[in-house]
Every structure is written in C-alpha cells, then in structure tokens.
Structure 1
Amino acid sequence: MSQVVVVIGDRLGKGQNVAKGVESAGGKAIVIAGVGADMRLGDVMKAENADLGISFCGSGGAGAITAQTKYGYQAHYGMRSIDEGVTAINEGKRVLGFGFNDVEELGKRITEALLKAKA
C-alpha cells in the first residue's frame, strides 16, 4: 500500500489527536498550526499535493467549503460522525468538514477508508 497524505485544519489550532490516528493507520499527517487553520486547508493541500483534507470548526463547513471553492476539491461538510466521513471517502470526496472532533479514531478510520479506496 502506498502512503497517503492527510492535511488537518482546525479552527482552534488542534488536530494532533486526529494526526496520531492518521499515522497509526499508515498515513502521513500534516497539522496546520494556529487558530483559523481550517481556512488555510485548501492552500496547504495544494502545496503538499495531499490526498485528503480534514477541516474542523463549529459548523463543520467553513474550511471545507473554502477548499472546494478555491481549488475545486470535492467536499462533504457539516458532518458529525466518523461513519459519515467514511461514507464521504467512499463517494470520492477529497475534503471532509466536521464539527470539532479531535479524536484518534477519526484519523485512523478515515485513513483506512482512504487507503482502501485507493487500492
């Protein structure tokens, strides 16, 4: 299996737990530093040639919508569960927008779904 690159942008500058999950599943995680990081998600995805971007904010939409609008990445946003994210991966989405949910399981399951989809 080839490695996948996942960029994580969190409105509050978090995302480290999701990154641990990404890495435990065999992916490379890039956490954007600083408050408002979700709004830079598309820019960092483009710069890093990332396979996937994950945005976290209160609504689960701002960073994902911005990445979709600016770069044309297929996005699904407003999600509240990990299962919704797995479904979005299976539907070919490249940017996932969640409400705040900085947990390892999210990163692990999303990366596993992405690796499976790319296989």
Structure 2
Amino acid sequence: MGQVIVVIGDRLGKGQKVAAGVEAAGGKAIVVPGMAADMKLGDVMKAEGASLGISFCGSGGAGAITAQNKYGYKAKYGMRSVDEGVTAINEGCLVLGFGFMDKEELGQRLVEAYNKKYGQA
C-alpha cells in the first residue's frame, strides 16, 4: 500500500496543526478549506481515496456521522483525547470525530497507529 492519506475537516476551517503531524509521520494531509468543512469530510475522503478522515467540531460528531451515513465509513466520534483516536483506529474505524483539538501530536499518532495496524510501518 502507498502513503496514508488523511482528510481533515474542521467546523471552523482549521486543521493545519494536525496536518503537520500527519506529514511528520509520513502521511499526506488534505485540509478541507472553509467553514463547516467537517460536513464535507466524507465527500472529500471518497474523492481522494483517503485512508482516514478526521472531523473537528464542538461535539466531535457531525462530520463523522455524516461520512458514516453517506458512505458507510466506520466512525467513532465524540472523542476528546489522542489515545481515544488510537483506540478507534485499532477497532477498525476510519473516520474519527473529535472536539476541537488541532494538535500535531494527534495527526502524528493517528498515522503511526494506522501504519502499525495495516502493516505500513
């Protein structure tokens, strides 16, 4: 398999720090531009053939739930910590919904967990 592609959708149009973490771990980050970007997460994942999607909003749910309902991606949402995200990847989730948590560590650890699980390390 090739490089891990991670799509990042943030309700406020952010996500640059988590993108830097994804790239530090050797992944390719695609930050969906603009407000309410979390709601476009599934569409962009499908278009880009993404490995993972990360959604950020106040509740940590809307974009992840939308991607799950529209495309059938296994999602976990309402998460508030990096460790919860790593656990979700280990459980086979491909769409991860967080409260606002634009941190480099999050992107880096999620890509590392994905690589470990799917044998790309």
For residues 1-119 of structure 1, the aligned pairs below 5 Å read: 2-119=2-119
Deviations 1:56-111 (A, max 9, x none): 00000000000000000000000000000000000000000000000100000001
For residues 101 and 77 of structure 2, what CA distance do their matches in structure 1 show? 13
Q: Secondary structure at the match of 1:100?
A: coil
RMSD of aligned alpha carbons: 0.8
**Which runs of 5 or more residues in structure 1 are unaligned?**
none
For residues 16 and 115 of structure 1, what CA distance do their matches in structure 2 show? 21
For residues 63 and 51 of structure 2, what CA distance do their matches in structure 1 show? 16
Return the letter of the residue paired with 1:94: L
Deviations 1:14-35 (A, max 9, x none): 0000000000000000000000
TM, length-normalised to structure 1: 0.98
Runs of 4+ in 1 over 4 A off after TM superposition: none
**Which runs of 5 or more residues in structure 2 are unaligned?**
none
